[in-house]
Amino acid sequence: MSVDVEVPKMCTAESRGWCIWLKQKGMDQRCSCNEGFYGEVCEHQMCNGIGHIMYMAGADGVCSNRGDCASHSGTCTCHDGFYHSEKLACEFKHCPASKNGDIDEKCSGHGTCDTLRGMCQCAYGWNGPACEYKSCASSNGVLYEHTSPNVCDGRGVCSPDSGSCSCKAPFFGETCENSKCPRDCMGKGGCDESTGKCSCPEGWWGAACEFVTCPDDCSNGGECNRHDGKCLCREGYSGDRCRKSTRCPVELAPFHTTPHANWYTLWDKPGWMTCPTGQSMYALERNDCEVLDCIESGSCAAPCEGDSVSTAEPIEIRHCYHDLNVYFSMDKEGWSKCEANYFIGGFYRSGSSLYQLQMFKCCSYKGSRWSGCGETDWAMQFNQKGRVVAPEHTFLAGLYRGKEHKLSSIDRAYTCGWVRGY
């Protein structure tokens, strides 16, 4: 008597797997899938992916994590930007489209495509995602991307098509390394194109050599009018370079200053008592008598521009005259003065009494005029033996006599400094 035995069933297809018994005894079966298949009846097909193994759909690494696995066919559908090699695992990534718009992995013909990362390795002198841009130069010899602040020495704009610089004014040159000078240095100086700065000739200054220098920069005694090169002097300074208006320093003696003139014997009789030619009075000295004969000495000097031996320059006499008005003004109380801008350079007397002081010698100097004039009180000084001195750097320009005819009646002096204009 025969016994019927059940034959094992196929799992989906013979190529995909076989049915096997779960136990040595019993009727329970399952599918044992061939390589590349899975599922309860081996109905699914694995896809390629990272490495050399197969992956189930949805597993990490399937289709190189760059696509979707179709388990019914075991094929990968790649995400945008990715594609297959012969492995069919979406393992390659497209490089950016070339400059012509083609996705050809040629990097615009100026580089090499890294297909694993989808990036272009650009040849020297090219840049951009697809090596589509020409690099630009700088004067340091380095090529930069056209968007770099270093291109064209930071002085221009780089063309990504040609790699050439369009320079901003006033710069020029292949890499904008040179600079024109302001206003072409006004045609007066030389231009250093490496710095864009003018080298001005003597007598001119400024960014474009547009200003005129003043002599000695006005010697710190005034301001320079840079448009015409002339000094505008402060009070107490004068001349073309604003030097200090002074009485010539003693160091210039004996030609331009006489600190102690000897009039002791000169005025023992009627006549003139004068400073040396070119000088004016700034001090008087008397003994203890009360007549004109008692003026025994004085101090004289020429006006100078500058207050040292190296800078002091005496000013020449322009004109002198004998002031005859003193003949009447010294007869009574009041002022006796030289004309404006003249200084006292000598006295003439006909006798010993104060009213017999009859003339002043008054002198002016070239280009000069009075400055800082004022009255000096001699009442406490000139009423006895001693010396009276005008304020620093001023000269006598007038005397005031009181009611009496004696020497001590000269109790005030009119003193003036000077300035010289151009």
pLDDT above 70: percentage of residues in the chain: 96
* Rg, Å, the chain Cα set: 55
- Mean confidence (pLDDT) of the chain: 90
Buried/exposed code over 342-380 (b: 16+ C-beta within 10 A; e: otherwise): bbbbbbbbeebbbbbbbbbbbbbbebbebbeeeebebee
Distance CA 4, CA 219 (A): 136
The pLDDT, as a whole number, for residue 7 is: 47
The pLDDT, as a whole number, for residue 422 is: 54
Is residue 324's pLDDT more than 90?
Answer: yes
3-state helix/strand/coil string of 269-285: CCEEEECCCCCEEEEEE
Q: Please tell me the pTM assigned to this model.
A: 0.60
The pLDDT, as a whole number, for residue 307 is: 82
Query: Confidence band (pLDDT; 50, 70, 90) for 309?
Result: confident
Domain boundaries, the chain: 17-90, 107-172, 244-420
Is residue 254's pLDDT more than 80?
Answer: no
Distance CA 12, CA 73 (A): 14
The pLDDT, as a whole number, for residue 266 is: 83
129-154 residue pLDDT tens: 999 999 998 999 899 998 899 999 99
What is the average per-residue pLDDT within 46-51? 92
Is residue 160's pLDDT more than 80?
Answer: yes
Question: CA geometry: angle at 34 spanning 31 and 36, to 5°?
Answer: 120
The pLDDT, as a whole number, for residue 1 is: 42
Is residue 3's pLDDT more than 70?
Answer: no
CA 158 to chain centre: 29
The pLDDT, as a whole number, for residue 236 is: 87
User: Within 13 Å of residue 337, how many CA atoms lie on the same side as its CB?
Assistant: 17
The better pLDDT of the pair 218, 23 is held by 218
185-208 residue pLDDT tens: 998 889 999 999 999 999 999 999
What is the average per-residue pLDDT within 396-417? 94
Distance CA 342, CA 338 (A): 6
In this structure, of 68-72, 87-91, 263-267, 299-303, the range with the lowest mean pLDDT score is 263-267
The pLDDT, as a whole number, for residue 17 is: 86
User: Within 13 Å of residue 124, how many CA atoms lie on the same side as its CB?
Assistant: 4
Query: Confidence band (pLDDT; 50, 70, 90) for 23?
Result: confident
Is residue 34's pLDDT more than 80?
Answer: yes
Buried/exposed code over 152-180 (b: 16+ C-beta within 10 A; e: otherwise): bbebbebebeebebebeeebbbebbbbbe
What is the average per-residue pLDDT within 222-251? 89
Is residue 4's pLDDT more than 70?
Answer: no
Query: Confidence band (pLDDT; 50, 70, 90) for 5?
Result: very low
Distance CA 212, CA 360 (A): 44
3-state helix/strand/coil string of the chain: CCCCCCCCCECCCCCCEEEEECCCCCCCEEEEECCCEECCCCCEECEEECCCCEECCCCCCEHHHCEEEECCCCEEEECCCEECCCCCCCCEECCCCCCCCCCCCCHHHCEEEECCCCEEEECCCEECCCCCEECEECCCCCEECCCCCCHHHHCEEECCCCCCEEECCCEECCCCCEECCHHHHHHCCEEECCCCEEECCCCEECCCCCEECCHHHHHHCEEEECCCCEEEECCCEECCCCEEEEECCHHHCCCCEEEEEECCCCCCCCEEEECCCCCEEEEEEECCCCCHHHEEEEEEECEEECCCCCCCEECCEEEEEEECCHHHHCCCCEEEECCCCCEEEEEEECCCCHHHEEEEEEEEECCEEEEEEEEEECCCCCCCCEEEECCCCCEEEEEEECCCCCHHHEEEEEEEEEEECC
Query: Confidence band (pLDDT; 50, 70, 90) for 212?
Result: very high
Phi and psi, residue 64, nearest 5°? 60, 25
Query: Confidence band (pLDDT; 50, 70, 90) for 253?
Result: low
Is residue 288's pLDDT more than 50?
Answer: yes
What's the full length of the chain, in residues?
422
Tokens (6 digits) for 395: 């000269």
The pLDDT, as a whole number, for residue 396 is: 98
Distance CA 75, CA 60 (A): 16
